[in-house]
Amino acid sequence: MKKLFLLLASIAFAGSVFAGCPSKAIHGKVVGFDEESKTLTITQGKKEKKVQVGSKTEMVGIDCPTKLKKGARVSIDGCNCKNKTASKIALAKGKGKKEKKG
C-alpha cells in the first residue's frame, strides 16, 4: 500500500513540474524591442507576448535585436517559463506576396 501511494504521489508531482511550460516554438510578428529591459514584444494573432533577450540568447539571421523591423516574422525557441528568457531567436520566412515575372 505504501508503494502504491508513493508511486501515485511521485506521478502527481512530476506532472505538476511540467504543467505550464510550452515545448513548442513561438512564431509571431515583431511589435517592438525595449532596450532598457531587453524585452522583445511579438504578436500571435491578437495576443501579445513579451520575451526577454539574454546574453546567452542565440541570434540566427539577426545581428542585434534593436535592428529588428516592426512586422518582421520571428521564431522563438526555448522560452524559459520562470523568467521568459529565450534561448534562440531566428528570422522566420513569412507568407509574403510573390513577385510576378513578366
Q: What is the pLDDT of residue 97?
A: 46
Q: How far is CA 52 from the centre of its chain?
A: 9
pTM exceeds 0.75: no
Separation in Å, CA 7 to CA 16, 18, 79: 15, 17, 31
**Whether 61 contacts 91, CB under 8 Å:** yes
Give residue 102's pLDDT.
Answer: 45
Domain borders along the chain are 24-91
- Output the tens digit of pLDDT for each of the chain's 102 residues: 888 777 777 777 665 555 455 557 778 888 888 888 888 888 888 888 888 888 887 888 888 877 788 888 888 887 756 667 777 888 877 654 444 454
Contact 48, 39 (CB under 8 A): no
- Considering the four listed CATH numbers 3.90.550.10, 3.30.450.20, 3.20.20.70, 2.40.50.320, the one that applies to the domain covering 24-91 is 2.40.50.320
